[in-house]
Amino acid sequence: MTRENEVPVIEARGISKYFGAVTALENVSLKLYRGEVLGVVGDNGAGKSTLMKILAGLYPPNAGEIFVEGKPVHFRSPKDARDMGIEMVYQDLALAGNMRIDENIFLGRERTRRFGPFKFIDNAASLKQAKEHLDKLKIEVKSVRQRVEELSGGQRQAVAIARATAFDAKVVIMDEPTAALAVKEVRKVLDLIKDLKNHGIGVILISHRLDDIFYVCDRVMALFHGRNFAEAPLSEVTRNDVIGWIMGNKSPVAQAAKIFDLN
């Protein structure tokens, strides 16, 4: 199914990014539609994280444009992107281990109450909201008052995703969310991604694990040496195709020929 006639929820056109003499991205484009899970693959250093950091407002591009629901945007910070519903779950999660789950979910966006000239954090309201939000995403924790450092890797990942989706996110970008997880926890995070999709959220998933890509994605695109290399609906590619793309080869047969020196 092609969605070419639809306005993408986020689109990047012709993005280039240089770090000194290093070209991290050259003329890269990407489209993501509502309720779609887009897998982004590529070898180490292909430019995946850099592209996502640009979409999330962490880095400005040297060239190119970003559109949110068809409108051009210029993010000066992750806050600008977040205000437009673009959230990123970073590889290192950026959670505060010594704080409670609910505090992490509301970090930087605390519900406050006024008392005369004083403003203070409305703990009861944020506890209740955090709990409702976790329930909605079917995330199980003993209590939202638990400290994040007491949680398993998978639970932490779930809290980071809950944080990213607590405030009307349209797009959630995840950079290798399952890389550090035990097998049982991987499935839970991937099911959570399916849930976000079912709520109409667009998800970009960077992963080196083809099992993840083939379990949740609708479409997959590959970057190679900082450029768009290939992309297709998941239903039209095999694992061997995708492995070939990561190695910079569009024909798996040719790739095999190279490996086994058939030519």
Ligand X SMILES: Nc1ncnc2c1ncn2[C@@H]1O[C@H](COP(=O)(O)OP(=O)(O)OP(=O)(O)O)[C@@H](O)[C@H]1O
Choosing among Mg ion, ligand X, none, which partner's interface includes residue 24 (Cβ < 5 to 8 Å by kind)?
ligand X
Residue 249 as a binder of Mg ion (CB under 5 A): the answer is no
Choosing among Mg ion, ligand X, none, which partner's interface includes residue 50 (Cβ < 5 to 8 Å by kind)?
ligand X
Q: Nearer Cβ to ligand X, position 101 or 186?
A: 186
Cβ proximity of 247 and 256 under 8 Å = no
Least distance from Mg ion to the Cβ atom of residue 178, Å: 14
Residue 244 is encoded by which pair of tokens?
Answer: 């070939």
Contact positions toward ligand X, by CB under 6 A? 19, 22, 24, 42, 44-50
Choosing among Mg ion, ligand X, none, which partner's interface includes residue 22 (Cβ < 5 to 8 Å by kind)?
ligand X
CA–CA dist 48, 32 (Å, integer): 15
What's the alpha-carbon Rg for the chain, to the nearest Å? 20
Least distance from ligand X to the Cβ atom of residue 75, Å: 17
CA–CA dist 95, 99 (Å, integer): 8
Least distance from ligand X to the Cβ atom of residue 190, Å: 19
Residue 37 is encoded by which pair of tokens?
Answer: 């899970």
- Mention every residue, 6+ apart, whose C-beta is less than 8 A from residue 10: 30, 31, 32, 55, 66, 67, 68, 69, 86, 170, 171, 202
Q: Nearer Cβ to ligand X, position 102 or 175?
A: 175
194-to-36, 100, 200, 220 alpha-carbon distances in Å? 9, 26, 10, 15
Residues 202-231 that bind Mg ion (CB under 5 A): none
CA–CA dist 226, 15 (Å, integer): 10
Residue sitting closest to Mg ion (CB):
49
Binding test (CB under 5 A) with Mg ion, winner from 15, 37, 42, 49: 49
Least distance from ligand X to the Cβ atom of residue 102, Å: 31
Q: Half-sphere exposure of residue 126, counting CA atoms within 13 Å on the CB side?
A: 21
Q: Nearer Cβ to ligand X, position 160 or 166?
A: 160
Cβ proximity of 15 and 64 under 8 Å = yes
Q: Using CB under 5 A, which of the segments 41-49, 106-114, 208-216, 229-237 binds Mg ion?
A: 41-49
Q: Nearer Cβ to Mg ion, position 49 or 157?
A: 49
Choosing among ligand X, Mg ion, none, which partner's interface includes residue 44 (Cβ < 5 to 8 Å by kind)?
ligand X
Which residues contact Mg ion by CB under 5 A? 49
